[in-house]
Structures are given as C-alpha cells and as structure tokens.
C-alpha cells in the first residue's frame, strides 16, 4: 500500500526493482521558510517509517544558501541511521563542494552519498547493489 509523504511523493516509490524515497526540495526558489518546514515534515515522516531508506533529494530551482545547506545537513544528521544511500540532484558544482565539506566535518562521510545532474541516473544508482 502506498501513501504520500509531506512533499507529495509516493511512499514507497518503486524503481527498477528497488524502493526509493523522494524528497522534493526543488522549485522553492527563494522561499526558504517553506522549504525548511517541508524538510522538518519529511524528517518526521522518515522517522515514523522506522525503515532504512534509499533517499533521492531534488534541489532543482531552489536557491541554495549556506543557511539552507546547514539546515539540510542537520536534517540528514537526524535521520542518518535510516539512510542506506543518498542521491542529490540539481546542486551546482559549488553547492556540491560546500555540502561535501560540511558533511565531512559532521562525520557524515561514512554514509553513501553521490551527486547527479540526471535524476534517472541518480535513481539507478540508488537501487544498484
């Protein structure tokens, strides 16, 4: 049985024989308050599933500031035990560099994280292995 997550994604989302949880953080442009509220709601939703997940984060068309990166990292840290793999799409090269740097400082580097421009490649990577 599928349900909808706070961001409107079908949960669980089946892709090529695997399950993915999609976090739709894209298209928020500069509306950071709404984005941070959604991050918190998704975090609560993920914690309520009591499952380990392959997570796909869409950041296309959202202005990524240092504050947003820090908030994203804090949210990921709170659910890190539930993350099997993490694919991030739509983040600029500079944004990737900054996020990677913050994640390493927070000892998040042990998690399996990859960055993609193509959503289909991200999903394929998540369900591989």
pLDDT tens-digit map of 41-65: 999 999 999 999 999 999 999 999 9
Contact 73, 108 (CB under 8 A): yes
* Lookup result for tokens 């999903």: 123
Q: Report whether pLDDT(73) > 80.
A: yes
pLDDT-above-70 percentage for the chain:
98
pLDDT tens-digit map of 100-115: 999 989 888 656 899 9
Query: What residues have CB less than 8 Å from 90, skipping those under 6 apart?
Result: 26, 58, 59, 60, 61, 62, 117
Q: Report whether pLDDT(70) > 90.
A: yes
pLDDT-above-90 percentage for the chain:
90
Q: How far apart are CA 46 and CA 43, in angstroms?
A: 5
What pTM was estimated for this model as a whole?
0.92
pLDDT at 115: 95
Q: Report whether pLDDT(96) > 70.
A: yes
Q: Which two tokens stand for residue 63?
A: 């202005």
The per-type count for the chain, helices as H runs and strands as E runs, is 4, 7
Q: List, in sequence order, the alpha helices (H) in the chain.
A: 32-49, 66-78, 93-105, 119-127
Q: Which domains does the chain have, with CATH numbers?
A: 3-127 (3.30.750)
Q: Which two tokens stand for residue 25?
A: 């953080």
């Amino acid at each position: 049985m599928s349900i909808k997550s706070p961001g409107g994604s079908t949960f669980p989302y089946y892709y090529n024989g695997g399950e993915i949880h999609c976090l739709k953080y894209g298209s928020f442009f500069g509306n950071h308050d709404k984005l941070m509220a959604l991050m918190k709601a998704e975090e609560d939703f993920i914690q309520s599933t009591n499952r380990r997940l392959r997570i796909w984060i869409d950041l296309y068309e959202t202005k990524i500031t240092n504050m947003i990166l820090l908030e994203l990292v804090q949210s990921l840290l709170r659910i890190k035990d539930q993350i099997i793999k993490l694919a991030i799409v739509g983040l600029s090269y500079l944004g990737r560099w900054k996020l990677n740097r913050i994640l390493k400082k927070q000892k998040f580097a042990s998690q399996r994280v990859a960055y993609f421009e193509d959503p289909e490649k991200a999903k394929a990577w998540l369900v591989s292995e």
